[in-house]
Amino acid sequence: MPLSSALTICLVEEARGGPFVLHPPPTAAGLEAAVRTAAELGYDGVEVFPPSPSAADWPAAELTRLTGSHGVRLAAIGTGAGWVRHRVHLCHPDAAVRRAAEDFILGIVDLAGGAGAPAIIGSLQGSSGPDVPRGAALDHLAAALGRLAARARTHGQVLLYEPLNRYETNLFNRQAEAAAFLADHTLDDVRLLCDLFHMNIEEEDPAAALRSCGSRVGHVHFADSNRRAVGLGHTALEPVVAALRAIGYDGFLSAEVLPLPTPLDAARRTIESYRRLVAG
């Protein structure tokens, strides 16, 4: 199977400054325009960052129809709105808040699974802190990932867990350490989301890190060193693509980048770089 390209669509008003390419209003017309843009530029898929799992907040019920009618696949659905909007996460000292985070993710797992895609756990993983030391935080994380992956499995999906850079979490910043944690806890249906922006900060050698994680790699956020579109920073992408090919990765390279200099420029620049590096 070849690699595939994807473009991020953020429907969360509170995340307007975030690293997502298209930021349409959370309406059916807004979502349709964004999906159409991705399709017209030649993307294979879209990755959606919705405000919640609820169809009351955005046109969730339209997702399958819109992707189908524009001939793009749904690459994944993000859960970060649980953090951005509600400040819940999986390592919070309060069990009720941890539960709320898990319920939010379960809703997205069901939504994504119903649409044939995996859900992403990024910022909702949280961090350890004075009230939740590292050991306890990792116990919370492992338990939640186990329950969430079991739900994803009922949809025939894996769960995507994303190590983040040190400024966003203190749980796992490097891919191989996260892969070892998943293996130690026999979390076999949890795959790594390898974000090349975070990896540029944390890894000694991003390509080597990908090679060491092998089949644990489940999704890739395709970003340059400065979190701009690939081609607008200084990450060496050729070795990264070679590493993904070497491990047999056949998923998405999904552009989770800042919409700079404009959303359309970032989308165009990404697909040009993708064609040069992957398809060319």
Is residue 168 at the binding interface for ligand LER, with CB under 6 A as the rule? yes
Closest by CA to 38, choosing from 1, 18, 80, 10, is: 10
Which residue among 195, 202, 203, 224 contacts ligand LER (CB under 6 A)?
195
> How far apart are the C-alpha atoms of 247 and 262, rounded to whole Å?
34
Candidates 66-74, 92-100, 161-169, 243-251 — which segment interacts with ligand LER by CB under 6 A?
Answer: 161-169
Binding-site partner at residue 189 among Mn ion, ligand LER, none, CB < 5 to 8 Å by type: none
CA distance linking residue 79 with residue 95, whole number of Å: 19
Q: How many residues bind ligand LER (CB under 6 A)?
A: 11
Interface with Mn ion (CB under 5 A), residue from 47, 102, 189, 195: 195
Q: Which residue do the tokens 């800042």 mark?
A: 258
In the complex with Mn ion, which residue's Cβ is closer, 189 or 256? 256
Residue nearest to ligand LER (CB): 122
Is there binding between residue 202 and Mn ion (CB under 5 A)? Answer: no
The nearer residue to ligand LER, 18 or 42, going by C-beta atoms, is 18
Taking CB under 6 A as the rule, does residue 123 contact ligand LER? Answer: yes
Which of 236, 195, 235 has its CA nearest to residue 218? Answer: 195
Q: Is 122 in the site for ligand LER (CB under 6 A)?
A: yes
Q: Which of 91, 124, 164, 271 binds ligand LER (CB under 6 A)?
A: 164
Question: Which is nearer to Mn ion, 106 or 255 (by Cβ)?
Answer: 255
Report cis status (omega within 30 of 0) of the bond before 259: no
Closer by beta carbon to ligand LER, 49 or else 249:
49
Site string for Mn ion, 214-253 (x = CB under 5 A): -------x--------------------------------
Verify binding: residue 80, ligand LER, rule CB under 6 A: yes
Please give the Cα distance from 149 to 183 (Å, whole number).
14
Q: What is the x/- site pattern for ligand LER, positions 34-63, by CB under 6 A?
A: ------------------------------
DSSP 166-229: TTT-SS--SHHHHHHHHHHTT-TTEEEEEEHHHHHHH-S-HHHHHHHHGGGEEEEE---TTSS-
Residue 162 CB, shortest distance to Mn ion, in Å, is 6
Q: Degrees (nearest 5) of the Cα angle 267, 270, 271?
A: 90
Instruction: Give least dist CB 150 to ligand LER, A.
Output: 23
151 close to 145: Cβ distance less than 8 angstroms: no
Segment 111-114 long-range contacts (CB within 8 Å, at least 24 positions apart): 111/50, 111/53, 111/60, 111/77, 112/74, 112/76, 112/77, 112/155, 112/157, 113/151, 113/152, 113/154, 113/155, 113/156, 113/157, 114/64, 114/155
Q: Where does this chain bind Mn ion (CB under 5 A)?
A: 195, 221, 256
Q: Where does this chain bind ligand LER (CB under 6 A)?
A: 18-19, 80, 122-123, 162, 164, 168, 195, 221, 256
